[in-house]
Chains A and B, each alone.
Chain A
Amino acid sequence: MSLDISFIGILIGSIMASSVPLILAASGELITERSGVLNLGVEGMMIIGAISGFALMVITDNLFIAIIGSMLSGVVISLIFGFLTQSLLTNHVATGLALTIFGIGLSAMLGKDFVGIPGKDFPILFSSLRESIPFFGPILFGHSIILYFAFVLPFLTSYFLKKTKLGLIVRAVGDSPVSASNQGINVILVRYCCILYGGGMCGLAGAYLSLIYTPQWIENMTAGRGWIALALVVFATWSPIKVLIGAIIFGGISILQLHMQAVGFRIPVQFLIALPYLMTIIVLVVISRDSRKIKLNTPTSLGRIFYKEK
């Protein structure tokens, strides 16, 4: 492997790009879960975001509308989940799984006419600086605005949960909805908002794939990234910063193993392919050993149905 410094810069840049959908989807799901709602529909919401974004781009030829539309589509589809689990009190796990299956099917149906249409180039920022500064150029510049947003999001999420009153309310609802309700908090409303926010972020994550990362629409193009995002939230013990670390490690090792193959390392390929999963789990388990902190971050009533007696 050639190891000159500018090459490493390019490598880090592409690792960052590959972790964006995981960061977005996992950050959204994290808020949903912190409010006590387990939504397994991440994959379904992502794929709906991917097709909506792509379709809107083709129809309106406006990337801004496409991005906003993809988030709204995620919101709308998560509203179905919200209505079922919060208003009709259905089981979170079953409803979330159904949402994923529904999303994949619906996106395939909606996408029939959009197969085989090439996507558009998404504008990247500071592309001239990318070329002119060695090492730091490809890391810091020449990315889409969504990437910058994704890398700020975990810090915003952390600040929101720890330092703001609204964040406190979300955590209270997730830990003990009964006490929160007795304090006069509208638990159902808070959970609805968190579900819709999670849906919006998953929609954006999907649009990142279909508009920026691999600009095209093909069925099933999320290829399981929603499930990885879900697992990241749990292994990161509901901490936004650890979600970010986990997503970067996962993206990083996925890409490094491809480089190791291209260079011709004599390591069994199957092992290399399993490596990202293995390393992400190991690292997250090692950095999340503090059981007191885990207790603090884990939404105690995750996945439990809350019912307010009238």
Chain B
Amino acid sequence: MYKNFLRYLISAIFLITFSISAKADFKVGFVYIGPTGDHGWTYQHDEGRKAVEAAGIKTTYVESVKYGADAERVIRQLAQSGHDLIFTTSFGYMDATNKVAKDFPNVKFEHATGYKREHSNVSTYSARFYQGRTILGHIAGKLTKTNTIGYIASFPIPEVIRGINAMTLAAQKVNPNIKTKIVWVFSWYDPGKEAEAAQALIDQGADIIMQHTDSTAPVQTAEKAGIWSFGQASDMQRFAPKSILTSIIDDWAPYYVERAIAARDGTWSQQDTWHGLKEGMVAMSPYNKGMGADLVKEAEQLQKDLASGKIHSFTGPIYDQKGNILVAEGKVADDGMLLGMNVYVKGVEGDIPK
């Protein structure tokens, strides 16, 4: 009897302290699609989380969370366990995020790369990676000898298609004969498959490889084959020191710190953020000197012009594969069109998987 009483007392004290501390502490939760050790997409988000932690705010994260029911369960769990702000860092968490947000009006949600903000406590944010792709396209168009660029794609969502188009348009500008060959692996993250896709593209004549998947396997394959490649999400240079021309780097840290502090101080409000080279959310790793000093200069200039807005990645005339006009001469594509992009531009081979 006495023993039991003691047990209840201890658990009661524990529960009370726990709930008080849970209320008092401002906490930020992160949901990741891959492992933090992918050295790509999730790795960069986790770098952002560490920056929030360094700013004195408590964080937790859940990694390798699958889309669908799993995602909703994890997001709900984070909301229930006293997190005040939750970052869901993949496109496929869009519906789950909005669904949970409805039930937790006091919790703030930030969804990466999506477009649905069904409730006032949901913000969306993304980076204009396509600006980076424009630079890659320019370099690739100049360097390719076979006029074939190999592109390893993950899922047919606007984000990925936009990257393919931006790259192709920029490459065409400097080399009208360019062809973009695409292999879909239907995975963000499968090193073996990504390596095989890279090899298939190389065997089919591509002499430059780029990827919209998260592992370093494609650049390693390119290094082995002795051809050029581009890194994705984080600086992959040390995996393929000779082959990598540059990497598109996602830098989420400043945004995460800013939003976490805003939420803590009560100044957070719904936003739709789409930052690029200008704000530093997209950055380029140092250019490989192997491409030649002139081309490095051109790339750096292009990077400046894209950042300042002098050059837009999607400047007309732009045609689709059948030759219909998408963007008229002298116009630039607006953000609405970019966000919903679901057709290839002229020069890309194959069909978009439906």
Cβ contacts under 8 Å, B43 to chain A: 115-116
Q: Which of B187, B193, B215 has the most CB of A within 10 A?
A: B193
Contact of A116 among B34, B39, B183, B199 (CB under 8 A): B39
Set B184, B199, B216: member contacting A261, Cβ < 8 A: B184
Question: When the two chains form their complex, are residues A266 and B189 in contact, meaning their CB atoms are under 8 A apart?
Answer: no
**Once the chains bind, are B186 and A270 in contact (CB under 8 Å)?**
yes
A219 to B189, CA, bound (A): 10
Instruction: Give the one of A112, A118, A262 with max B CB within 10 A.
Output: A262
Assembly CA distance A108 to B38 (angstroms): 11
Q: Does A150 contact B (CB under 8 A)?
A: no
Tell me whether A115 and B37 are in contact (CB under 8 A). yes
Among B38, B186, B195, B205, the residue within 8 A (CB) of A273 is B186
**Residue B56 is within 8 A (CB to CB) of chain A in the complex:** no
* A175 to B78 alpha-carbon distance, docked (Å): 50
* Number of interface residues, chain B, beta carbon within 8 A: 43
Query: Distance in Å from the Cβ of B190 to the closest Cβ of chain A?
Result: 4
| Interface status of A220 (Cβ within 8 A of chain B) | yes
Instruction: State the CA gap A1–B203 with chains docked (Å).
Output: 10
Whether B200 contacts A259 by the Cβ 8 Å rule is yes
In this assembly, does B7 line the interface, its C-beta being within 8 Å of a C-beta of chain A? no
Chain B interface: which of A6-14, A58-66, A72-80, A280-288? A6-14
Question: Which single member of A10, A108, A216, A221 contacts B203 (CB below 8 Å)?
Answer: A10
Q: Which of A116, A218, A263, A269 contacts B35 (CB 8 A)?
A: A218
| 8 Å CB contact of A214 from B39, B64, B204, B217 | B217
Interface residues of A in 212-226 (CB under 8 A from B): 213-221, 223, 225
Are A262 and B195 in contact, with the CB atoms below 8 A?
no
What is the interface size of chain A, counting residues whose CB is below 8 A from a CB of the partner? 40
Which of B43, B190, B196, B199 lies at the interface centre, i.e. has the most chain A CB atoms within 10 A of its CB? B196
Decide if A258 is an interface residue (CB 8 Å cutoff): yes
**Do most interface residues of chain A lie in helix, strand or loop, or is the interface mixed?**
helix
Q: Is A254 an interface residue (CB 8 A)?
A: yes
Q: Which residue on B lies nearest to A121, using beta carbons? A: B224
Q: Does B200 contact A255, Cβ atoms closer than 8 Å? A: yes
Partner of B199, one of A14, A108, A115, A219: A14
The B contact surface, by secondary structure, is mixed
Using a Cβ cutoff of 8 Å, how many contacts connect chains A and B? Answer: 119
Task: Report how far A259 CA is from B200 CA in the complex, Å.
Answer: 5
- B200: chain A residues at CB < 8 Å are 255, 258-259, 261-262
Task: Say if the beta carbon of A268 comes within 8 Å of chain B.
Answer: yes
> Contact between A218 and B184 (Cβ–Cβ < 8 Å)?
no
B238 in contact with A269 (CB, 8 Å): no
**Are B204 and A259 neighbours in the complex by a CB distance under 8 Å?**
yes
Known A-B contacts A11-B203, A219-B35; A118 and B238 likewise in contact (beta carbons under 8 Å): yes
Known contacts A118-B238, A220-B189; A262/B37 CB under 8 A: no
Q: Which residues of B contact A261 (CB under 8 A)?
A: 182-184, 200, 350
A1 cross-chain contacts in B, Cβ below 8 A: 204
Cα–Cα distance between A217 and B136 once the two chains are bound (Å) = 27
Convert B58-87 into 0s and 1s, putting 1 for each residue whose CB lies closer than 8 angstroms to a CB of A.
Answer: 000000100000000000000000000000
A119 vs B191: C-alpha distance when bound (angstroms): 13
Q: Is B220 an interface residue (CB 8 A)?
A: yes
Question: B197 — which chain A residues lie within 8 A by C-beta?
Answer: 258
12 more A-B residue pairs beyond the given contacts A214-B194, A216-B191, with a C-beta to C-beta distance below 8 A: A2-B205, A115-B37, A118-B220, A119-B220, A209-B191, A216-B217, A218-B189, A221-B192, A258-B183, A261-B182, A261-B200, A268-B354
Ranked nearest first, the 5 interchain pairs of A and B with the lowest CB-CB distance are: A219-B35, A258-B200, A115-B37, A269-B353, A262-B204
Binding site for B on A (CB under 8 A): 1-2, 7, 10-11, 14, 18, 21, 108, 111-112, 115-116, 118-119, 209, 213-221, 223, 225, 254-255, 258-259, 261-264, 266, 268-270, 273
